[in-house]
Chain A
Amino acid sequence: MAGPGAGEQAMEDERSFSDICGGRLALHRRYYSPYCLEFCLSCPRISLRSLTAVTCTVWLAAYGLFTLCENSMILSAAIFITLLGLLGYLHFVKIDHETLLIIDSLGIQMTSSYASGKESTTFIEMGKVKDVIINEAIYMKVIYYLCILLKDPVEPHGISQVVPIFQSAKPRLDCLIEVYRSCQEILAHQKATSASP
């Protein structure tokens, strides 16, 4: 857990946590330098059980409609819909892993990788970042979530926007505390170096 010292190699460690629904998450942390850090949170894969359950319900419903209507197009339409639905789900909905990269002089980058390989990235420059906090909110029940507070250009101590991170993985508080502590170290260092030009 110590810094890399004089070596050039990145330090890595991996720990296992759970999300708010009870699924297993893997938190993979890499130190590229003392103040450049990457967190990668892997979500649980799509389970065979849920896939077969959805497919069976769709096909049974289609077969029920077919016995009512005697039109065989319904069966082929059901197969088509199942395939397209699965592809669409993997490409647009199911997230495989989420990454948070903090570089103290540059900014914070969040990447979401979908199960089909698609990646969507958001970058926030360090000048806009006010703080990274753990907040509690109501989302069907009370959950803890990590978010980035952005500075208000008009008011020095105000908050203009809240950007939640790890939205799809939804880890529990123990994982969030790990990420929060590391982020606060880097932010404290960044504030110290920016305050003394």
Chain B
Amino acid sequence: WCLSLTTSSIPDCLSKAPPPNPPHWGLGFQVLYLVWAFIPESWLNSLGLTYWPQKYWAVALPVYLLITVFIGYVLLFGVNMMSTSPLDSIHNITDNYAKNQQHKKDQEEAIPALRDIPISEVNQMFFLEAK
């Protein structure tokens, strides 16, 4: 009983193999890049294709790309460090959204509305009443 229930509940699309992907445009560019990188200059010239970039770039461009990726990691870390506000910045305490928030009236027996509590109140709650 249980087995028949579980096998019948598998949807039909999962039981069949997935359909093959249609070929996409990137495939053509990859084939072109490999042809340019590997086939010697003389063969391409004999075919009539003479105006190619130098084969040096077939190796240089991937290396440039990798170095850019690694430096991107370092740069992202640096940008993060630079955007951290210093200790004497007002942005550690409040910002425009907190200053302009509307104060809703508290209803009876209801959870108070969500709001940004000023830092003085937070401090009093944490540090003064803990005795």
Contact = CB atoms under 8 A, between A and B. Distances in A.
Interface in A127-147: 130-131, 133-135, 137-139, 145, 147
A145 B99 CA distance: 22
A75 interface: no
Nearest to A185: B128
Contacts, number: 47
B4 interface: no
Contact of A158 (B99, B123, B128): B99
A139 B87 contact: yes
A114 interface: no
A158 to B, nearest CB: 7
Interface residues of A, number: 23
Q: For the complex, would chain B's binding face be called helix, strand, loop or mixed by DSSP majority?
A: helix
A135 B99 contact: no
A17 to B, nearest CB: 16
A163 B90 CA distance: 10
A115 interface: no
A180 B120 CA distance: 11
Interface residues of B, number: 17
B110 interface: no
Contact of B127 (A138, A158, A177): A177
Given A135-B92, A137-B85, 14 more contacts: A133-B123, A137-B87, A137-B92, A138-B84, A139-B87, A147-B87, A149-B93, A149-B119, A159-B90, A159-B94, A160-B90, A162-B88, A181-B128, A184-B128
Interface of B: 84-85, 87-90, 92-94, 99, 119-120, 123-124, 126-128
Top 10 A-B residue pairs of the complex, sorted by shortest distance between their CB atoms? A164-B87, A133-B123, A131-B120, A137-B92, A133-B119, A162-B88, A177-B127, A138-B84, A164-B88, A137-B87
9 contacts: A131-B120, A133-B123, A134-B123, A134-B127, A139-B87, A159-B94, A162-B92, A177-B127, A180-B123
